[in-house]
Structure 1
Amino acid sequence: MIFLNTDLNAQATGTETFTVTQVPAENGSYTIQPPIADGTRVKAGTVLTVIAKPSPKFSLDAIYYTVKGGMWGTTSFESFSSPMTIRVDKDMSIGATFVEKELVENLNVTQDLVYAKPGNKALKYDVFSQKGARNLPCIVIVHGGGWSSNNEDIMRGLARELANGGKYVVFSIDYRWVNKLDGDEKPNYMHNLIEDVFGAIAHIQEHAATYGGDPKRIAVTGDSAGGHLSESAAMLSPLIGDGGFGTRAGVYQYLPSYMPKGKSVDQVRKEITDAIKAVAPSYGPSDARHFKMFIEQTSDEYYDAVSPVKHVPNATQRAIPHFIVRGKKDDLVTHAVVQSYVDVLKAAGQRVEYIQVDDAAHAFFDWKPDAATRTTFAKYGIRYAAEMQAFFDTVFK
């Protein structure tokens, strides 16, 4: 029998109440203090403590609560350690997810490393490396979410898959959201997000050795909006500079949001450009005209400047092998959108492997606490993460 602790609940402020739903756990269990029955209406302001316990052979992935709202209809908030405290201020569902222990027991995971704070939001990345990693190539993951939602946590499933096997150190990065969605007084533009990706890479190069990574050997991947941003990292790095972005006619240069002390922008440009050896943009657009609804600027010059497809080098000058996957049932990023980039790459002599996945829709590399997303990742994400890693193996052999 589960009872509501009326003494603690009475401490909550106000008279408004919200429904708290408990999601059944698999491969582990969790408890809530003060105890509440599933579906109980709880006074606004009540603080709940969630304690999770994995079953044998499993480890905690995350404790979470989910509320309505956000770009995709719901938003989840996660804690990767137990306990998690939650203040009830909306109707919510609470749960915990668990993963096989063998998936994570040999990994060192370092979370929330801040690389810059150009606006309201601190920009972070997480590191996934096998214990004992030393001088391994780095993989940088850029998350998706319409350039306007999610953070690096949504890529942790892919990061774990790519880090296991001991061949790579994986860095999953966050960046600013477009417009004023981070709460900034001034809007963030698409080129600012690309500058964040360059800033993250510059910071990663500065600290890669700490985690067993080689800063001179980098592959970049990302899905959806992160596909565009990963392509941008690979194709637009020669445009890193301090001449401003569109402030002078014909000048579109990216100033990384983090600059290592003692290094010139020319040094950073060369180090990033030389280090990026491959890119795997999953179901992402490469021409800004395909996502201009997210861009305030309307000039062709601006669109071209933030479009990787407009900056593909000839492979004889700079070879950037591409691994691209897309679900055949993806209604957000069509085959035509991806194929147009593939055609330009091939015309430039670039090596490209393009796979269309039967029955898969959009965002199958995402990892969220809901069962449907995790099931999709198990069905498609694991397999194509392995194929991506095999592709990178041929580059870093």
Structure 2
Amino acid sequence: MSQKSLTLVLLTMFACSGILKAQQTFSVSVDEVKNGKVKVEPAIPADGKVAEGTVLTISAKPDKNYALDAVYYSVKGMWGDMYHECMASPYEVVINQDTKLGASFIEEDEVDHLMVAQNIPYAKPGVKQLKYDVFAPEGARNLPCIIIIHGGGWIWNTEDIMRGMARELTKSGKYVVFSIDYRWAGNRDGDEVGNTMADIIGDVFGAIAHIMEHAADYGGDPTKIAVTGDSAGGHLSAVAGTMPNKIGDGGFGQTEGVFEFMPSYMPENKTVDQVRAEMMAAIKAAAPSYGVFGSDRLNHYSEDPKADDSWKEAIAPLSNIPNAEERKIPHYLTRGTKDGLIPDDGVKPYVDALVEAGQRVQYVQVGGAGHAFFDWKPDDNTKATFKKYGVYYINEMETFFNSVFYQKN
């Protein structure tokens, strides 16, 4: 057999056995950029095909009178383009699917009052590093803290999606704002054992514990906290507002009738009893937006065979509202009248139960708005919706917060 024939035979054998495989490529493109410039290194080939595993670095430079909003990449997800973002440039992206790259810019006067600290780590109970972002007005000192919890069906998004709200809430100079991340339900983060709703709630309380420990570093007062969030974050912020009394180390459902949430971060010098007491005293207001409050629409995400409806009741704010004589937690709730995910009759029972418990509550329906109008993403449609509905009602929400933290005696 000739050398050439032998080579062909060996190549065929290797290919059939899987030893030789063509390297997979994905389509990569750059979105249209406004008010700035973007550079990608190494350069994307003319045909837009990039080998799997390639690391691309995106650098962004704003035009005059503009600032960087975020550098990003987006991939197709269950709700269209799903964004992964960074508020600093450059930003590295590993290509493992069809991807769009880009950068978003914002008017400089929208952010020139701010000190932003991004990706502050607070815990790593699983595969994903948990973190939060801080938005502090210049010169902040002993200001009340607002903690924002993002939505995404408990299975998507990060704290980045709430940066528009965070920036808006700092413009008056009255608040330091923290936007937190948490584990995704099930195996979405790559954890071998799926994350339950009790785990997620533990992350929320862990983030708050870490923020209380470090709030003063950013000019915040750890004894004055408000919580807000939208959609899944609406549920989680209602939990944070109404249920810090459930913080404990007794486990969730492991002992019959015992449902406690262990914070995924605990200060070294404090017991769980101390953290519970301090958090109950510090959280003074809640503003859940278009959230889920009743057990009938909640999932505990547990595979424990003992899990039953009582496990859902234990994660439902509607079932755990404190009486105002024991602990006051005023509420401000919003919902868009065209919200196809959260109906009015999904919010009204929570409002009625708060009233029945003697709590102060304001429920505002936003005419014409759909779901997620407090979100912020790089696309023009999301930005336009935020400006149309989000800005006004964030300011209304801040008026509510002012009534709690700045009311004159």
Give TM-score, length-normalised by structure 2.
0.89
CA contact (8 A) 1:133 1:169 kept: yes
Match for residue 310 of structure 1 among 311, 319, 331: 319
Q: Does 1:350 align with 2:362?
A: no
Moved more, 245-254 or 229-238: 245-254
CA contact (8 A) 1:14 1:44 kept: no
> 1:305-335: CA deviations, max 9, x gaps?
1111111122122111101111011111111
Match for residue 149 of structure 1 among 156, 160, 170: 156
Match for residue 36 of structure 2 among 15, 23, 28: 28
Three-state SS of the structure 2 residue aligned to 1:252 is coil
Identity across the alignment (%):
54
Alpha-carbon shift at residue 281 of structure 1 (Å): 0.2
Q: Which residue of 1 aligns with 2:60?
A: 52
Q: Which residue of 2 aligns with 1:396?
A: 405
Q: Does 1:373 align with 2:382?
A: yes
In structure 1, stretches of 5+ residues that fail to align are: 1-12
Q: Which residue of 1 aligns with 2:178?
A: 171
CA contact (8 A) 1:140 1:220 kept: yes
> 1:221-255: CA deviations, max 9, x gaps?
01001111001011111111122211111111111
Match for residue 121 of structure 2 among 114, 122, 129: 114
In the aligned structure 1, how far is the partner of 2:269 from the partner of 2:377? 40
For 1:149-298, list aligned pairs within 5 A: 149-292=156-299, 298=307
Question: What letter corresponds to residue 49 of structure 1 in structure 2?
Answer: T
Three-state SS of the structure 1 residue aligned to 2:254 is strand
In the aligned structure 2, how far is the partner of 1:257 from the partner of 1:375? 36
CA contact (8 A) 2:228 2:286 kept: yes
Change (3 A) 1:53 1:254: same
In the aligned structure 1, how far is the partner of 2:197 from the partner of 2:248? 16
CA contact (8 A) 2:197 2:299 kept: no
CA contact (8 A) 1:20 1:39 kept: no
Change (3 A) 1:184 1:311: same
In the aligned structure 1, how far is the partner of 2:365 from the partner of 2:50? 47
CA contact (8 A) 1:142 1:230 kept: yes
Change (3 A) 1:118 1:86: closer
Q: Which residue of 1 aligns with 2:48?
A: 40
Q: Matched residue pairs, number?
A: 384
In the aligned structure 2, how far is the partner of 1:294 from the partner of 1:354? 29
Three-state SS of the structure 2 residue aligned to 1:246 is coil
CA contact (8 A) 1:124 1:173 kept: yes
In the aligned structure 1, how far is the partner of 2:117 from the partner of 2:331? 28
CA contact (8 A) 1:14 1:43 kept: no
In the aligned structure 2, how far is the partner of 1:62 from the partner of 1:38? 25
Alpha-carbon shift at residue 37 of structure 1 (Å): 7.7
Alpha-carbon shift at residue 47 of structure 1 (Å): 4.2
Q: Which runs of 4+ in 1 moved over 6 A?
A: none
In the aligned structure 2, how far is the partner of 1:30 from the partner of 1:214? 39
Three-state SS of the structure 1 residue aligned to 2:140 is coil
Q: Which residue of 1 aligns with 2:14?
A: none
Alpha-carbon shift at residue 296 of structure 1 (Å): 5.0
Moved more, 262-271 or 368-377: 368-377
Give TM-score, length-normalised by structure 1.
0.92
Q: Which residue of 1 aligns with 2:140?
A: 133
Three-state SS of the structure 2 residue aligned to 1:377 is helix
Three-state SS of the structure 1 residue aligned to 2:165 is helix
CA contact (8 A) 1:21 1:38 kept: no
Q: Which residue of 2 aligns with 1:9?
A: none
Q: Which residue of 2 aligns with 1:63?
A: 71
Change (3 A) 1:295 1:344: farther
Change (3 A) 1:318 1:87: closer
In the aligned structure 1, how far is the partner of 2:190 from the partner of 2:23? 29
> 1:309-367: CA deviations, max 9, x gaps?
11112212211110111101111111100111001011111111111111111111111
**Cα RMSD over matched residues?**
1.9
Question: What letter corresponds to residue 250 of structure 1 in structure 2?
Answer: G
CA contact (8 A) 1:65 1:77 kept: yes
In the aligned structure 2, how far is the partner of 1:64 from the partner of 1:247? 42
